[in-house]
Structure formats: C-alpha cells, structure tokens
Structure 1
C-alpha cells in the first residue's frame, strides 16, 4: 500500500482511528428508536437501515483489491523502485530458506562499488558427506571462473567472538561439522577447556586436534559450564542437563529448538550489516532486522577483499584475518547482552 495515499482515498474521519466508529452512534441510536416506536404507526427510514450493509460492502471491496494487489506483487518479478526498501519502510519479514543452492552476489552490493559476481554455496551438515563442502564441485569444474565460498571461516570467527570474555570452559554438543572442528581447535589452542557432550563427538574431535591442543579437550562428565556451543541435533534431554542461566551459542545455520525458559539462546552465526548495505534481502527470518547470516555474508566479504582462493573442502581462511576484514567493511558483531535480553 502507498505510504501517502491520495486525499480522496481516506474517509474524513480516518484520523479518529478506532474512535471513528463513534460517528455511527447517532445513526444506530436513531435506527433503534425508530424500531421501538413502530407501534405509533411511524415509518422506518430506509436510509438508516442501508448504512450497515453499505459499510460491509465497502470493507469487502477494499479487501478484494488489497488481496489482489498483494498477490500480483508476490507472484511478479518486477521492481517498482530501483532502490532498496529499508525495514522502517516495510514492516515484514521474509522466510526464504534455500537448500543446496548457489547464491549470487550482484553488482553494486555497496554504493559506488562495482564488484565481480561470486558464488556462495549454502552447505548443510549432510552436504559435507555428499560433496565435502563443495570440493567435489571444484574437482569436476577446475576451470570455474567464480570462487566458491562456504563461509566457514567467518562463521567460526563470529562464534568465537560471541563467547563472553574470560570464559575458561565450554560444552560442545550437537552434530559435528567443519565449523565445529575449527571452533574446538581454536579454543583448545587458546587454553579454553572444551567438554564434548557425547562420547563419539569427543573421539572425532580428538582425532582432528594436534597433541598440544587435545590436552584441553575433555569428555563431559559434569555440566557446570554455562556456555554451551551447540549444533544441529542437540536434543531436549541434552538441553535439560545445562545449569540454569546457560547461554546456548549455535554454530549451526539453523537455530536449536528452545526448550529451556531459564536459559538464554544466542543467534546463529551472523552480523549486523552496515547502513550502506544494499540490494541483498535477508533470508533467515529467525535473525533480527538488518542482520545477515555469516555464511551469506562471507561471499560478499571475499568479493570486497578480492580474495582469489576458494573456501571449500577442508580449506579455511585465517580466522583473525576474516574477522578483522568484516569489521573494516562495516559489519558489526551482535553483543551477547543484547541478544540475551529476551528469555527463551
């Protein structure tokens, strides 16, 4: 709908809001009076009686045109304006969850920047087993002219920088992934104790760590830590083992099911986009406004930095380098405090 409709499109009493119905009070009262006084032989004024069905007809007429216009907008592929629409102009969210697709960053993502088109494959946990995070695709198409970026480095950087400062131990649970392994390695190398929630996860993580880092990897026998790093597959029973006030920080692309009302759930790896960010719509409706998933953001960041390497398979970029680059280009971290203000 238009933000400033024409003067003849509104009723004179629109400014009254919900109090506009008071305008009908005299007519309603007069109609009731005429019905009560019919015994004296007076006739009923038909004009009073048709007001109500007339209003119902107008409401139906409006709804038909509104529904039709929204249907055409939803089904159409044309843009009315060649500029972005901010959240303060359109109060809605879009749920567009893509699986196994290539997301193309268009030219002019930022004002006055002409960027090369890059491909950003979105890979799920099962995708690591199917195509090894895109490495199979690279092998089959060695002459590919675009860079494939799975976004793992930036996702890891976001998770590591979401952990409160001074944390000495964390619990790691859920299905393991490329991101989970990199997080565990970085924490263990930094002297943080990582307690694996499941025995099989502990064994897998230990096999991927260096001897020095593996010292800080422990099987979880107690659940005193209030910082839990969680991925897909974390069940309700496992969440119940966490102490009251635990902060669940996902390293997965989808958020965990919130089963604890006495705990806090952080966002999936994501950052706040800069104010000059244009022409890229949000695809995760569980993230706040103007916040973009780290996996999607990574392709844009790599294009801005003009990095020429792929990030797929087992390859990862330097986590600190990627994190600093994101800050330089105006992406902002989401503070744990602000994200934890609302309980699950």
Structure 2
C-alpha cells in the first residue's frame, strides 16, 4: 500500500479485530452486505430450486439443455464445497501438520462465527451462471473437451486475470476501500481456507470478474468446453485454499530445484505474510506480478524456508488426555466440521452417512496405537493441548482391552514427560479406578516422572458439592464407593448431611465409614435398593441409572451426576444437572471447539482441575484416592484464577 509505513500498517492490523467486534450487520458503504445476509441457512433454497428444476426437466421433459446446465451448477457447487472442506479438514489435522503451521495461534469462536457463511460466493457464482445461460443459451452447447480452450483459458488467466487481480487488490488497500470493505477479510486473525470466502459482496463481485474472464471469455471466443469450466474453477478454488491455509505444504527445496516456480507459484506463507505486512504480496497465484510491481516481501524466502524445514514445534505446558465416548461424538472434532465442533455436541442427521468413513478412520488410528492432538488454546501465554486416546468408551469396560488402553495412556504420559510438559490431566475413563487406580499405576511404575499426572477429580468433587444447596440435610448417592463417591460422602458427612450410600458391598461401605470421626459415622448409611431413596429429593448419580430406577425418585428431585456418559433425562417432573464443569477464564485465547456436550469455553471439571494444578504451580501428582482436605483448597484456587462454576 503506497504512501504508508510499516508502523501505520501494524497499528491498522491491530485495530481490525475491534472493528469486527463492533460490526452490527449493517454498513453504510454500498455493496458491503450480501443481498441474502438475513436469510441465514434459507439461502440454500436457491439450490433446492435448481434441484427441483433439474428433477422436473429429467422426469417430465425427458432431458433438456437447460436441465444439463442446472446439473453442472449443482455438481460444481458440491465439488467446490468439497474442495474447501477437505482443505479445512487438513488444516485442523494438528497431529499431521503441527510442525509446519505458519501461525501457532488457534482460531477462536469469534473468527468461526464471522466466517460461518464463507460460502456466500458459491451462491453468487451459481446465480451468475443461471443468468449467463438465460442471456446466452448457446453456453449449454459446450463440448466435453476442446484442447484449444485449455490453452486460451490459461492465456487469459495469466495475461488478464492475474494482473487485474493484482491492481484491484492494491486498490482495495487504498484508505477508502480498505476502511469500508477490505478490513473485513483482514479481520480474521489466523488464515484458514474458509477465510478465502470471508469478504464483502463488492469484493466477491470483483473476484468473479477475475474468474469470469478466463472461463466465459474462452466460451465466447468459441473454444469453451465442460472440462475447461470444471478444471479451471476447481483448480482456482484449490489454489485459493492452498494460499489461505495455515499449513506450509510446499517444501523450500522445490524452489531451489526448479527456480522458475518461485515466480509462478504462491505458497501459504506468501499469502500469510500479506496479512501481517499489508504493503506486500498482493498477487493472486503468481509472485512475478509482485516482483514487477516491487511489492514482494523481502523476508518471504527466509520465512518460507524456516517454516517448511521446521522439525520441532512449541512444547505445550499442559496436556488434557481425552478419549472417544462413542462413534458419533468422535466426529465432533474440528477436522471433520469446524462449525459443528464449535457448538455443544448433539447427534445430527448429517453424521449418519459419515459413520462408515469414521469407523475406517478409527480402525486406522487403533492400528497406529498413538494418541493424537485434536485441539489447543492459550491461557496467559501458556500453551494447552488436548490429546486423544483412540479408544471408544465401551472398550474401557472390556477386561481384555485394559492392558492395551493402559499402554497407550502410559506412552502418552512418557511422551509428555520427554517433551517437558508440566502437567498432564486424565479424562474420565482414562483414570478409571478399575483400569489403573486413578492414575496410580503409572506414578508407581515411573517414580522419576517430571510431568505431574493429575486426575482432576478433586475439583470435580468440589463442583458437585458446591452445587448442593446448604439447606439440604439428606442425599442419595450412587457409585458411592468410587473415588468420587467416597470423597463426596466423607465431605457431606463432615457437613452433617445424611448420605444414603447405594452399595452392595458392606465391607467397602464400612471402610469408608471408618474414615470419619465416630460421632459423624451416623451420617453415612448403607442402602442396597433404590426404593430406600423414594423420599429423598437430592440424588447424586455416580453410576448409570436406568429410567426404571429413576422412577423411585419423588417428584421434584434434582439429579446431580458425575457418570459418563450422562444418564437419560427420563423424568419430566424432575430436573437434571449436567456433568461437573467450569468455564475457563476470560483471557483464554484460540479456543474454537466445544468439549463434548459442554458450552463454549466450558470444560469438564477434571480438565479444569488440571488447569488449576498447573496455574498454581503444584509439583505433586494428583492420583488415586481424593484428599478430602484439599477439596476446598482446590475450589478456592479455581475461583482465584478466574474459573467459574456452571
């Protein structure tokens, strides 16, 4: 951008997110908003109309040229959307590309929401294609192949589209156009394939001219073909996604081997630099125009070499070791659909057709037998990552699978220890008492571990206990002899709350009862049937409870729970609490996915317990039985660090 220094551009770049946060949906500048912006997902009815038209022409009119044109528009929409989606999936496969990420920041909910309707331009192009056919019906007569058209299309792209885009892009960076239009595209902090579509209506009208010259121009000259249309448009989308990817996929040595490519081919790093230094790197796909215009970034080559040859990446300070709950929830990851991952998990109809592919993917992950990175965020300058053990929930209850699962968890802990991770927190089933004694197995086997192994259940117990009203004098507790059940029972007995502990094992009950002073032992009572709680309105569920068993609860009962997965909310005359959870502090950055059924920014209490353990700088392992004396200490520490109960 001519006439501006680097300092001015950096200050402008910092101000962009504030502009986006104040965006109200209506701008004074003409052609800023999309005509169908207020339609939401109803905008896709346009494609429904095309599909109806295609079906009518096929079945009633027995096939027409107009029918073929509708078919090509629909097929192109699907293929173009697939190109962007596949690039998005690859961009989020951190376990494959973490060392080649250009920006190590995460994409937060704000950016995901801003780019939610990234595909508006696909509808624009489909509308223009319909209008083009109505104006020039001869377009329906295009042959399948014409070699002259391929050459003509490339010539128009290189000779017209590339220089046109270069100069129009520079024009968009002029003060008026940037202030009123182009800032929206630059408001995305981290580049992503969907960022390519995040721009104003005016900018995409300009982009259509860039695409239209080679395609429609070749057709009007008389060399057009169906293969040319598909090939150019899909190739254009592919390169746009590549340029906006946050992963460097082009090796630096390729330019040394074939120096000419340096002038003809843009890399993800090339476009990423433009988002940081907006005075440079304006071209579409061919850097030669930046070279001729003297706007190429002087440090591009060095930066590209550094990223493409990087062997190591930033070591996380904290790791949450999760697991897969079931087949459906395994699709609630960002590399499947980032929009779906950014909202609490629930079963959607579009997941069912993907089930077979998900099953095959999980088989591949089992064969690899390694944990994989699925998400990360930053808190107060520290990197927090989520690793996942590729095992389903039901497998944790199969006796013959225990050894293999423990081996994977152990390898993840040792890997974290080698990397220099400070704390690794185990998710619900990864610290199952019957599996590994709440993590004790690994600490005892490796006494020299530097990484702190944390089950986080102390905070889980604190969250559940602080949900119970102070005036409650009796509770019914299932899963009462488990790690969490024991701690909850002992804590409530100290508060002089009568606890009906459902257990068939008198020996285990008596062992827990003896842990409280003799004068408080009367507050712990063993029961063996659900009928014993038919007058108690506070149930704490730590073991799966069927609808039939829930029927014993009186009307108005509230079900607190720490069972995974949560029980079915069967009773309409009762209320059901969610799994123990806490909201992360407000200063968390880069968080763009929801943890299972939790809301945005909310994590399971055991995850939050690991965060508190790290923020406090505690050096001890938190494994095995819960220290009841630490429940209030951990709770107060969580509140002090800005975590909030839900």
For the criterion TM > 0.5, the same-fold answer is yes
Higher mean alpha-carbon deviation, 85-94 vs 145-154, is at: 85-94
Give the equivalent residue in structure 2 for 1:277. 588
Give the equivalent residue in structure 1 for 2:212. none
Supply the RMSD in Å over aligned alpha carbons. 3.9
Give the equivalent residue in structure 1 for 2:634. 322
Structure 2 contact 107–591 (Cα < 8 Å) conserved: no
Structure 1: tracts of 5 or more residues without a match: 4-9, 29-48, 335-344
Whether 2:509 is the aligned partner of 1:205: answer yes
The count of aligned residue pairs is 301
Q: How do 1:164-243 and structure 2 match up within 5 A? A: 164-174=469-479, 176-198=481-503, 200=504, 204-209=508-513, 210=516, 211-220=518-527, 221-243=532-554
Higher mean alpha-carbon deviation, 120-129 vs 161-170, is at: 120-129
Partner SS, residue 454 of structure 2: coil
Give the equivalent residue in structure 2 for 1:40. none
Structure 2 contact 461–484 (Cα < 8 Å) conserved: yes
Q: How do 1:296-307 and structure 2 match up within 5 A? A: 296-307=607-618
Supply the distance in 1 between the matched residues of 2:476 and 2:492 (Cα, whole angstroms).
Answer: 11
Supply the distance in 1 between the matched residues of 2:382 and 2:35 (Cα, whole angstroms).
Answer: 48
Supply the distance in 1 between the matched residues of 2:552 and 2:506 (Cα, whole angstroms).
Answer: 17
Deviation at 1:261, TM superposition (A): 2.4
Structure 1 moving runs of 4+ over 6 Å: 99-104
Give the equivalent residue in structure 1 for 2:379. 110
Q: 1:290 aligns with which of 589, 601, 606?
A: 601
Q: 2:462 aligns with which of 138, 146, 157?
A: 157
Give the equivalent residue in structure 2 for 1:43. none
Supply the distance in 2 between the matched residues of 1:147 and 1:204 (Cα, whole angstroms).
Answer: 29
Partner SS, residue 58 of structure 1: helix
Give the equivalent residue in structure 1 for 2:107. 85
Supply the distance in 1 between the matched residues of 2:543 and 2:430 (Cα, whole angstroms).
Answer: 8
Structure 2 contact 551–571 (Cα < 8 Å) conserved: yes
Supply the distance in 2 between the matched residues of 1:216 and 1:146 (Cα, whole angstroms).
Answer: 39
Residues 144 and 56 of structure 1: is their aligned pair in 2 closer, same or farther, counting only changes over 3 Å? same
Structure 1 contact 252–269 (Cα < 8 Å) conserved: no
Q: How do 1:39-188 and structure 2 match up within 5 A? A: 50-51=65-66, 53-75=68-90, 76-77=93-94, 78=97, 82-88=104-110, 89-90=112-113, 91-93=339-341, 109-113=378-382, 117-124=422-429, 127-174=432-479, 176-188=481-493
Higher mean alpha-carbon deviation, 272-281 vs 297-306, is at: 272-281
Residues 206 and 101 of structure 1: is their aligned pair in 2 closer, same or farther, counting only changes over 3 Å? farther
Deviation sequence 1:63-105 (CA, Å, 0-9, x none): 222123223332443467543333343442376xxx999899x
* Structure number with higher helix proportion: 2
Partner SS, residue 447 of structure 2: coil
Deviation at 1:310, TM superposition (A): 0.7
Deviation sequence 1:227-249 (CA, Å, 0-9, x none): 11001322222111111221111
Deviation sequence 1:285-322 (CA, Å, 0-9, x none): 22222210111111111111000111112253611110
Supply the distance in 1 between the matched residues of 2:496 and 2:370 (Cα, whole angstroms).
Answer: 38
Residues 103 and 68 of structure 1: is their aligned pair in 2 closer, same or farther, counting only changes over 3 Å? closer
Deviation at 1:206, TM superposition (A): 3.6
Structure 2 contact 457–606 (Cα < 8 Å) conserved: yes
Structure 1 contact 84–279 (Cα < 8 Å) conserved: yes
Structure 2: tracts of 5 or more residues without a match: 1-19, 21-31, 54-63, 114-338, 346-365, 385-420
Supply the distance in 2 between the matched residues of 1:59 and 1:80 (Cα, whole angstroms).
Answer: 34
Give the equivalent residue in structure 2 for 1:338. none
Residues 135 and 279 of structure 1: is their aligned pair in 2 closer, same or farther, counting only changes over 3 Å? farther
Structure 1 contact 150–311 (Cα < 8 Å) conserved: yes
Deviation at 1:163, TM superposition (A): 1.1
Supply the distance in 2 between the matched residues of 1:15 and 1:125 (Cα, whole angstroms).
Answer: 45
TM-score (norm: length of structure 1): 0.74
Supply the distance in 1 between the matched residues of 2:37 and 2:591 (Cα, whole angstroms).
Answer: 36
